[in-house]
Structure 1
């Protein structure tokens, strides 16, 4: 699936629609794109739509931050940027096995990610224009994509 975005508001609307499809599910979402592409903007809007009351910001230096969704389930936010070249297993499996987990710069921990995940790539265009590509890799992520179109 490809979604063309033309403004910050449309990015937030896209994240809200994704949130409505993943509420109450256990899923890993990977977000990839260049610096400034909108990965954290997407995550903030997703968290807000899931009822997170805390301020969501990039966990670049802490690598992992966890929040509580409205339903009490966790929303984990991992920024793997600083893990480039690391072969260390940091125990992210616990995050992948409960609630929703958003992983920025997922290519740096590819071998630790679950097989079934929703892969979102954000490609920058001019100004606030973005091209978002969404791909499912298993049955849960496929059902989420089907819900998106309902």
Structure 2
């Protein structure tokens, strides 16, 4: 079966999706700042170029869009109705790349936190989740 042609409107919509400074990423940055955690952005030299890093704690944070990175059982992770073969292959590559990046970071002694877009909608819950995750990572680093 031949692939349907690319819809110019869909193409323009996807072209406008930003890679950095997205609303979910800004929400995570605000939460980290409120927790007093210092960080750097977009560490290109690390596997997967984590969105946020704290080198002192060897902490890498990825802020994933539910659609692009396929958050399991999330309503935001829908699949477009047209060109489904293309989209499924693209999503599979994204998920595999994410997995390889996380493994490479962990093998180099980095702790990895993944924050999903849908988890950034409630600032207080986000702050609490990040605080718990960072405390757990900090505690395990001092027991090993």
What's the TM-score bracket when you normalise by the shorter of the two chains? 0.3 to 0.5
Answer 1 or 2: higher relative contact order, Cα 8 Å, separation at least 6: 1
Name the larger-Rg structure.
2
Give TM-score, length-normalised by structure 1: 0.33
Q: Which has the higher helix share?
A: 2
Give TM-score, length-normalised by structure 2: 0.33
Q: Which has the higher strand share?
A: 1
